[in-house]
Chain A
Amino acid sequence: MPTVSVKRDLLFEALGQKYTDEEFDELCFEFGLELDEITSEKEILIREQGDEKAEGASDVVLYKIDVPANRYDLLCLEGLVRGLQVFKEKLEAPRYKRVSPADGGEPQRLVITEETASVRPHAVAAVLRNITFTQERYESFIELQEKLHQNICRKRTLVAIGTHDLDTISGPFTYTAKPPGEIRFKPLNQSKEYTATELMSLYKTDSHLRHYLHIIENEPLYPIIYDSNGIVLSMPPIINGDHSKISLNTKNIFIECTATDLTKAKTTLDMVVTMFSEYCEEPFTVEGAEVVYPDGRLCVYPELAYRTETLSGDFINKRVGINESAESIAQLLTRMCLRSEVSGEGDLIQVEIPPTRADVIHACDIMEDAAIAYGFNNIVRSTPRTYTIANQLPLNKLTELLRQDLAAAGFTEALTFALCSEEDIADKLRKNIAETRAVHISNPKTTEFQVARTCLLPGLLKTLAANRKMPLPLKLFEISDVVLKDETKDVGARNNRRLCAVYYNKSPGFEVIHGLLDRVMQLLDVKPGRNQGYHIQAAEDSTFFPGRCAEIFSCGKSIGHLGVLHPDVISRFELTMPCSAIDIDIEPFL
């Protein structure tokens, strides 16, 4: 959930009203937002870097507001104010309009060449004419781009935004891709020219830009946008050129968005222009730009598409659980920037979804907005009439029953991790990792998460090691799942519910663990015996001390092992006393 930081006084000025913190918190809640924190730049600096660094920092009050992840229209002060004013019916949602250049001039044009196909194939563009920036508006404009980059643009992987002072460049513009060695320009806020290759090493240490280098670093061709004079506008998604940079005095802005996802590019462009066209000479109008594709297709952007959905008042009432007239529902939706009218046909409502509400993709989103506007706290809680008979999962039922009786038998339950290191399930148990049937994790951050466990024993031994100071004997058990590769499953692996117990004392206590096996079998109503019953049989297993290990059979089928652990296993788990263990599969007893 993104957090938007706005200056309180600016916010109240734009809202035309002052609120107490509590009142504003309440307003946020009603609108489906959350006032997360009230702070200031100074306070943040003090918290993050200490008193000294914070000296002289601004103590202007900041509101940090949590915004739902897909509400890109609320990521800046302008959008937030517009949304709240419409919600409070102080303002009618503006209509955003794409216009042609004044005086019948040619629209700006961005030509995409086919070289971009391999790296970043999409681009859209638009122009904001005769805009008036102030310091605050300018900062908000930069901040919105950053917020969009972090959210809908997925850290610039899907979309990257470039904004340029149109009066410093001349179209048509070319979006192409070139080998990094052939790209050379003066990047934003640098004093000299670099090749793209040099830039990549320059930005390796840049705290902000280094996070984006990986997107194109290993590509043979880098995306690049030129104007008709060969001036570089930007090298997306990394950096803009210094030549076309915008300032407080910029009047006309050329906006380009390059992308790997065209839908997201269009939405991003719509967001930037709908939010800031407010400051154009003719508010809420945006000058279209033409984009020419390698195949010759020509599209005009921004789309600023309005879409109408028709749904019934009954649908909203039934899904939310309220009973409102179609008119009143239309009014609720209009307050959420979804201009709605009762069509006159039954209780049908026509809902217009503006370009700012790209998050509304289904009638259920409209329903949710109606519920927000109605107020979640005003909806009457009711119990579903769904009549069902409960069933336990047989495997979990068996597990629950066995756990109780294992504790009654004097063993204490451990709860260990399902993920562990390769070493835990192989080397430390004197096994070969290749023979474990272990599922391997491709991206562990530490060795603790290399594999899913194939047996419960390492976890229990680690629990013993962490509790060596406790009085002996230590008797532990766990009934839980291990994971094994299994070709017959759709994902190639399956869980296996196992019971494992250890006895740790000055003497190995094989008879204790053996007695536990007898008790478990008694609980499972399996009698000792070779055919229909259970029996144990001497076996060799590298985890156990030679001659002190037996395989356990139930109804002729091998279900596990018990025995005295090998001294090397004991040492490798940083233990010092003899230890006996049992490990069985409980799934055959379902």
Chain B
Amino acid sequence: MADTGLLEALLRLLEKVDGGIDSQDVAADLGVDHQLIVGAVKSLQALGEVISAEQKSSKRWELTGEGREIAEQGSHEARVFNAIPDEGLPQNELMKMPSGKVGFSKAMSNKWIRLDKAHEGGPRVFKTVETIEDTVRDKLQLVQKGLSAKLEDKEKNELKKRKLLSEVTVKSYWITKGSSFSTTITKQETELTPEMIASGSWKEKKFKPYNFEAMGVAPDCGHLHPLMKVRTQFRQIFLEMGFTEMPTNNFIESSFWNFDSLFQPQQHPARDQHDTFFISDPALAHEFPQDYLERVKQVHSEGGYGSQGYKYDWKIEEAQKNLLRTHTTAVSARMLYKLAQQKFTPVKYFSIDRVFRNETLDATHLAEFHQIEGVVADYGLTLGNLMGILHQFFTKLGLKKWVEVGNSGVFRPEMLLPMGLPEGVSVIAWGLSLERPTMIKYGINNIRELVGHKVNLQMVYDSPICRLDS
């Protein structure tokens, strides 16, 4: 904030004029440096509508360093003239003066002095006139006072040639009265302080306006991962629909639960080394519900439960092979088997967890991803029920084209009956990946930008909250 006295002086000047004034003129009027006036203009602008100021630029003549010296002390020739007493001065002494050389030749050509080379004791300089008129100094003083307009262009150019004047571009403000013009200044406060609140002084104070165009300061905080935010929403949807969460914290699964229990034949291509990660250590599972395993073996190799079966040589060795589960349906199978060991009650289950595929990787496929799965087991469920519940689920997601992102179906009796579930019980289920809808939702094309260590943390910092239905 510039000094209040200067501000008020400026305002008083402005009060007297119609229209406006130039800041350069204000500087000249008040006899202060222009930069101070510029500061004062800015301070006044910050006060609101006291003044308005428009920046402009103009050309103006200014004294050089040497020009200023001459304006103060007179021209070199005048200084030489004034230094000579009536009895004259030896030339060599005159030449020792700072202005000696230049002043001597100028004063000679002005015929103000003469040189007596033959004087006894060496060459000596004498005045030839009584008084002189130092026009150079007069002209420079005019310019110094801002009255350069009184000089003719020819005169100015000559002084410019002598490096006493220079022409410069000056920036200045055209200052006019603002809508709340006043000649007194109320100092503006930047912030409300506890003292102001305590004393009530805030009532009298004016506050400096905020710049609402600027961004705020980013809060110092942590962030949740966007895929996990979507996972939270999917959990929420299932919970809202009355689905209980399954324990999917077992990435290592036996082929038995991952494939055989689901009535997937042992020659199925999904069980190929190219599609599934098998485990070398611990290579085999060693514990199965034995009578259930026998029933699974039977339904694969001979049929039963109304089924023809696949009629092949089912091998326990194949079922024992450990793997990284390829779907969370392995857990659904374990849960349904467990359910079948009790008196049947209807259930709705869900899970969202990692599954693994030994696939070729590309922009949308990784070796591991999250599978979302919903399962309903009850008497008398129909295909119409499956379609109905899918519709409700995907409506909550805000996804219209759900066929594109998921799979659904009714579990086969060859899977359910060997578990011991009652004959009339149907189990409907559906699944989809967590990554796919998230990528669609957030417009991410490369899955590596979302999942894994190559994630861009800035993306994590910047990601919005997840509201699936909006």
Which residues of A are interface residues toward B (Cβ below 8 A)? Answer: 154, 157-158, 261-264, 307, 318-322, 361-364, 371, 376, 379-393, 395-396, 400, 403-404, 406-419, 439-445, 448-449, 452, 459, 462-463, 465-467, 470, 474-475, 477, 481, 483, 485, 489-495, 497
A323 to chain B, nearest CB (A): 11
Q: Mark B367-395, 1 if CB is under 8 A from A, else 0.
A: 11000000010101111110111011000
Interface string of B237-266 (1 = CB under 8 A from A): 011111111110111111000000000000
Interface size of B by CB at 8 A reads 90
* Interface contact B267-A158, CB-CB below 8 Å: yes
Also in contact, A444 and B281, with CB within 8 A (given A381-B384, A384-B381): no
* B376 / chain A contacts, CB cutoff of 8 Å: 384, 386
Using A364-B410, A415-B455, A452-B252 as known contacts, say yes or no to A490 and B287 having CB atoms under 8 A apart: yes
- Report the Cα distance A344→B92, complex, angstroms: 149
Beta-carbon contact of A407 and B221 below 8 Å: yes
When distances are taken between beta carbons in the complex, the residues of chain B under 8 Å from A418 are 251, 354, 356, 368
**A408 contacts B222, C-beta separation under 8 Å:** yes
6 contacts across the A-B interface (CB closer than 8 A): A318-B380, A379-B384, A449-B277, A483-B251, A493-B322, A495-B251
* Bound form: Cα–Cα A361–B300 in Å: 11
On chain B, the residues within 8 Å of A416 by CB distance are: 452-453
A sample of 19 more A-B contacts (CB under 8 A), given A383-B388, A386-B381, is A320-B382, A321-B382, A362-B306, A362-B307, A362-B413, A382-B382, A382-B388, A389-B242, A390-B243, A390-B245, A403-B228, A410-B221, A412-B460, A414-B455, A466-B453, A490-B286, A490-B287, A493-B252, A497-B249
Q: Contacts of A158 on B, CB cut-off 8 Å?
A: 267
Which candidate, B9-17, B100-108, B166-174, B308-316, is the interface stretch facing chain A? B308-316
In the complex, which residues of chain A have a beta carbon less than 8 angstroms from the beta carbon of B311?
A: 262-263
Known: A154-B269, A465-B453. A440 touches B279 (CB 8 A): yes
B451 A415 Cβ-Cβ under 8 A: yes
Given known A-B contacts A263-B312, A320-B383, A491 and B451 have beta carbons under 8 A apart = no
Q: Within the complex, what minimum Cβ distance (angstroms) separates B321 from chain A?
A: 9
Q: Are A400 and B232 in contact (CB under 8 A)?
A: yes
Say if the beta carbon of B157 comes within 8 Å of chain A. Answer: no
State A395–B242 Cα separation when bound (angstroms).
18
Q: Cβ of A462: which chain B residues have Cβ within 8 Å of it?
A: 453
Chain B 192-208 interface mask (CB, 8 Å, partner A; 1/0): 00000000000000000
What 1/0 flags go to B177-211 for Cβ under 8 Å of A? 00000000000000000000000000000000000
The answer to whether B247 and A393 touch across the interface, beta carbons within 8 angstroms, is yes
Asked whether A387 lies within 8 Å of B383 as measured between CB atoms, the reply is: no
Given the complex, which residues of B lie within 8 Å of A379, measured CB to CB?
383-384, 387
Whether A491 pairs with B224 at a CB distance below 8 angstroms is no
A440 touches B280 (CB 8 A): yes
A-B pairs with the 3 shortest C-beta distances? A321-B384, A321-B382, A492-B282
- B110 contacts partner chain A, Cβ-Cβ < 8 Å: no
Residue of B nearest to A464 (CB): B453
The smallest C-beta distance from A189 to any residue of chain B, in angstroms, reads: 29
- Are A412 and B277 interface neighbours, CB within 8 A? no
Query: Are A495 and B383 in contact, CB atoms less than 8 angstroms apart?
Result: no
- Contact indicator B384/A363 (Cβ below 8 Å): no
Residues A381 and B288 in contact, CB atoms below 8 Å apart: no
> How far apart sit A263 and B308, CA to CA, in the bound complex (Å)?
11
Complex CA gap A388/B367 in Å reads 35
* Complex CA–CA separation, A147 to B277 (angstroms): 27
For the complex formed, measure the closest distance between the CB of A311 and the CB atoms of chain B, giving whole angstroms.
9
Q: Is B278 an interface residue (CB 8 A)?
A: yes
Knowing A263-B312, A376-B387, A382-B388 are in contact, say whether A443-B220 is a contact too (CB < 8 A).
no
CA distance A493 to B249 in the complex (A): 11
Query: Which A residue's beta carbon lies closest to that of B240?
Result: A390
For B269, list chain A residues within 8 Å (CB). Answer: 154
Give the Cβ gap from B147 to chain A, nearest Cβ, in Å: 58
Complex CA distance for A309 and B389, rounded to whole angstroms: 31
A364, A467, A485: the one contacting B457 at CB < 8 Å is A467
Counting chain B CB atoms within 10 Å of each CB, which of A154, A320, A412, A492 scores highest? A492
Q: Please tell me if the beta carbons of A485 and B282 are within 8 angstroms of each other in the complex.
A: yes
- Which residue of A has the minimal Cβ distance to B367? A449
A321 and B367 alpha carbons, distance in the complex (Å): 38
**A412 near B245 (CB under 8 angstroms)?**
no
Whether A390 lies near B238 (C-beta < 8 A) is yes
Task: Please report the C-alpha to C-alpha distance between residue A495 and residue B358 in the assembled complex, in whole angstroms.
Answer: 20
Residue of A whose beta carbon sits closest to that of B321: A442
A361's partner among B222, B223, B303 (CB-CB below 8 A) is B303
CB distance from B17 to the nearest CB of A (A): 53
> Are B455 and A463 within 8 A (Cβ)?
yes
Q: In the assembly, what is the distance between CA of A387 and CA of B238, in Å?
A: 14
Does B244 contact A495, Cβ atoms closer than 8 Å? no
How far apart sit A414 and B382, CA to CA, in the bound complex (Å)?
41
CB distance from A304 to the nearest CB of B (A): 16
Is A441 a contact of B280 with CB atoms below 8 Å?
Answer: yes
- A501's closest neighbor in chain B, by CB? B222
Chain B 19-51 interface 0/1 with A at a Cβ cutoff of 8 Å (1 = within): 000000000000000000000000000000000
Which residues of B are found within 8 Å of A390, using beta-carbon distances? 238-245, 348
Q: Which of A263, A321, A400, A406 contacts B383 (CB 8 A)?
A: A321
- Shortest distance between the CB of B433 and any CB in chain A (Å): 14
Tell me which residues across on chain A come within 8 A of B278, comparing CB atoms: 441-443
**Complex: A570 Cα to B268 Cα, angstroms:** 45
A392 engages B277 (CB within 8 Å) = no
Residue in A closest to B414 when the chains form the complex, CB atoms:
A362
B residues within 8 A CB of A380? 384
- The answer, yes or no, to whether B290 is at the interface (CB within 8 Å) is no
| Cα distance, A250 to B368, chains bound together (Å) | 51
- Report the minimal beta-carbon distance from A422 to chain B, rounded to whole angstroms: 12
Measured between beta carbons, the chain B residues less than 8 angstroms from A411 are 222
Residues of A within 8 A of B303 (CB): 361
Q: Does B344 contact A (CB under 8 A)?
A: no
Chain A residues with CB under 8 Å of B240's CB are 390
- Knowing A379-B384, A395-B249, A466-B455, the reply to whether A491 touches B282 (Cβ < 8 A) is yes
- In the bound assembly, the distance between CA atoms of A318 and B267 in angstroms comes to 33
Quote the shortest CB–CB distance from B127 to chain A (angstroms): 78
Task: For the complex, give the distance between the alpha carbons of A440 and B322 in Å.
Answer: 11
* Residue numbers in B under 8 Å from A407 (CB-CB): 221-224
Interface membership of B419, Cβ < 8 A: no
Alpha-carbon distance between A6 and B66 when the two chains are bound, in angstroms: 98
Q: Which of B245, B267, B288, B413 contacts A392 (CB 8 A)?
A: B245
Could you tell me if B384 and A409 are in contact, using CB atoms closer than 8 angstroms? no
> Which residues of chain A are near B245, meaning CB under 8 Å?
390-393, 396
